[in-house]
Amino acid sequence: MYSFDTRVRYSDITTDLTISTEGIIDLLQDCATFHSEDRGFTCAKLSEMHRGWFVTDYQIHIKRLPVMGERLTVETFPYGIRGMMASRYYKIKSESGLLITANSMWVLMDNVEIRPVRVSDELKEAYGDCGKPDEEFENRKVPVLDGLEEVGKVRVDTSMLDSNNHVNNGRYIALAERFMDCRPTSGSLRIEYKKAALEGDVLYIRSGSVGADHQVIMTAEDESDHYFKLLYTEDKA
């Protein structure tokens, strides 16, 4: 297990003073990155090795959104490292208790040949294996709702890219939130990253709702060619 302490920053909140969905994703991404950094596999070292970790999906359970200034502990529990893949479980907690849990899967990529590669014994030992969590999560594969409508399109520019020259995970979320008709507050949030978007690519954005389910997807001009899928299911309790 690895953890770090932080605080909800003003730059992370929305108009109701709670953390944005992008802010949640950033906390999860930062926790995994800090874990790797502190175990000796820094971003710089991985780059020298021509390696990079890419998240393929998140399943997130939101009990309550953290609020402005709230002190948080973010924990990650790596498990199930097999072949080219590894999983991480997360908890985001405050003094009031457990706020958010999440599950995710990652793939190790060769950044030169652009292909998945096996996780070395050295990496396995560095990260450890905390065992599969007891909590049940939804299927990793996000279904597409019927009746989605095109609501916009965006050309990828350099401001959206991360160190791998792909659209950053959080930037997809920030863009999706602009086109959702319901902001995630409590319930389940499922995210699937299908294909890395590069500078110059055009993201066609489609959204819609069916009952408690709210969705945004991003595709190429061919709507069957997916970059990103998000599905939020409201907690009606």
Question: pLDDT band for position 166 (50/70/90)?
Answer: confident
Q: In this predicted structure, what is the pLDDT of residue 237? A: 60
Candidate from 6-10, 135-139, 232-236 with smallest mean pLDDT? 232-236
Please report, for the domain that includes residue 121, its CATH number. Answer: 3.10.129.10
Entry pTM = 0.93
Counted residue by residue, the chain has a size of 237
* 183: alpha, beta or left? (left if phi > 0; alpha if psi -120 to 50): beta
What confidence category does residue 189 fall into, taking pLDDT thresholds of 50, 70 and 90?
A: very high
In a shared domain, residues 55 and 117 = yes
- In tens, the pLDDT along 81-102 reads 999 999 999 999 999 999 999 9
Q: How far apart are CA 204 and CA 228, in angstroms?
A: 10
Element housing 25 (H / E): helix 21-38
Q: Is residue 138 part of a domain?
A: no
Number of domains in the chain: 2
Assess whether 15 and 108 both reside in one domain: yes
* pLDDT greater than 80 at residue 164: no
Is the distance from CB of 130 to CB of 78 less than 8 angstroms? yes
Q: Do 122 and 10 reside in the same domain of the chain?
A: yes
Domain carrying residue 178: 149-234
89: left (phi over 0), alpha (psi -120 to 50) or beta: beta
pLDDT score of 196 more than 80? yes
